[in-house]
A and B are shown apart, each in its own frame.
Chain A
Amino acid sequence: MFGEKVIELLKEAERNRDTIDQYNDEKVRQIIEEMHVLFKMNMADANATTENKSLWTTVQVRHSALERNKRCLLAYLYSRMNKIKTLRWEFGSVLPPDVRELLSDSEYEWFSKYSTNLASYMRSLGQDIGYSGIDLTENLRPPKSLYIEVLCLTDYGKLELEDGDVILLKKNSRHFLPTSECQTLIRQGILKQIM
C-alpha cells in the first residue's frame, strides 16, 4: 500500500509529544527512495500513454501517492521544528549533548539560527526606553518575591551574580538567591525552589 512507512514515522512523533525523538534518518531515506521509484514508474508510464490511454489514470493515482508522501514528510519535519523551538525556550541556547544528538545536522543548524534570531530580537527590545534588551524566557510566571530559597540538583559549578559575588552550586547545596538570577536555572532543572 502507498504511504504506509511515512505513517509509522508520524505515529512515532505523535506518541511522544513531550519529548523529541532521534531524527529518523533511515526511514526518511527509505520514503524518499519510495518516492523516486514512484516518480520513475510515472515517467515511464506517462511516455506510454500515447499508445495506452488508460495508463493516464494510473499515473494520476501514483501522483497522488507522491503528494501524500510529500505532505507526510513535511508534517514530520514541521512537528519536529516546533519541538526544536520549544527546546530553545526551555533548555536555553546551549543544548545538553544527549539532546543535541537527537537532531539532524540541518535541524541543529536551524536551531542555532533560530537561537541567534531570538537573542538579537530580545536584545533589541526596550532600547527606546533605556533598557539593553529584555530576556523573554524569564518571568514566564508572575513574580511573587524578589528572593527565593533553592536547592541545587546537580554539580553545576560557579555562578556569578550581578553584584559580583560568585557562589558554588553543588549537588544538594541550598541557596537564598534573587529570583531573577535563578529562575532560568530552575527551568533548566538545575535548581529547585523550596517553599
Chain B
Amino acid sequence: MDPYEIEFIGENRIVSIIPNFSHDKIFLICGEFGPFRAGLPMNVPLWLGVMLKQKQKCRIVPPDWMDIEVLENIKEEEKRSRFFTKMPNEHYMVEAKLILGAAAEDIPRASEIKTIIKDIWDIRMSKLRTSMDALMKSGGNYGRLDHLTMMEINSVKPLLPEAMDELHRIKMMARKTMPASLNNSTFSQTGGSQNI
C-alpha cells in the first residue's frame, strides 16, 4: 500500500477543534458533524480539521497524547521493552505529521514533540528490522505483530510476507517430488492466477 493511502485511512480519526465561525450541522459520508459554534470545542474528522485550519477557520486542540511527558514515557518504555509497546493512537504518525504540519502553532512545544515522535518511530523501525532478521534466522513460522500500527506493518511489505511465503514454499517443494512433466498439466489450475 502507498503511505498516502494509509494517511487517507488515518484521516478519518476524530480530532477536537475550536472553530472561529458558526455554521449548522453538516452531513458527510462518514457521519454528521456540528453544529459549529465559534469558540466552542467540537469533534471532526482529521481531514476536515486540517482543511479548516488551512483556511484559518479553526484551532486544533492538541490530542491528549501529544504531550512531552506522555511521549517521554512512551519513548523510555519502547527503549526498555524487547517487544513493541502499545501506541496511544493507531495512526500516531499520520496524526503527528498532519497536525504538526498544518497546525504547529496550536501545539505547545511543537518542535520538541516532533523530535520525540520521530525518535519513537526510529526506535520502533529499527526494532522491526532486527526482529525480522531474528524471525528468519530462528526459522519461526509466524511473527507476532502486536501493537504495530498500520503504517509500520506496511513498511515490511512486501518483503516479509513474501520471504515467509518463499521459505514455506522451499520447505514444501524440497520435500515432495515434482510433477512428471514441467510443461503441461498445470495450465488449467494456475493459468489465471498470475497478474501484472
| Docked CA distance A78–B192 (Å) | 10
Count of chain B residues near A, Cβ 8 A? 11
The residues in A between 63 and 112 inclusive whose CB is less than 8 angstroms from any CB of B are: 64, 67-68, 70-71, 78, 82-83, 85-86
The residues in B between 146 and 196 inclusive whose CB is less than 8 angstroms from any CB of A are: 181, 183-184, 194-196
List 17 A-B pairs, Cβ < 8 Å. Answer: A64-B183, A67-B181, A67-B183, A67-B184, A68-B183, A71-B184, A82-B195, A82-B196, A83-B196, A85-B196, A86-B196, A141-B2, A141-B4, A141-B5, A142-B5, A142-B7, A142-B8
Contacts of B8 in A (CB 8 A): 142
What total of A-B pairs shows CB separation below 8 Å? Answer: 22
Contacts of A141 in B (CB 8 A): 2, 4-5
Please classify the interface of chain A as helix (H, G, I), strand (E, B), loop, or mixed, using the class held by over half of its residues.
helix
Count of chain A residues near B, Cβ 8 A? 12
Q: Are A142 and B4 in contact (CB under 8 A)?
A: yes
Residue of B nearest to A66 (CB): B183
The residues in B between 1 and 28 inclusive whose CB is less than 8 angstroms from any CB of A are: 2, 4-5, 7-8
Contacts of B2 in A (CB 8 A): 141
The residues in A between 139 and 173 inclusive whose CB is less than 8 angstroms from any CB of B are: 141-142
Find the residue from B4, B181, B183 having the highest chain A CB count within 10 A.
B183
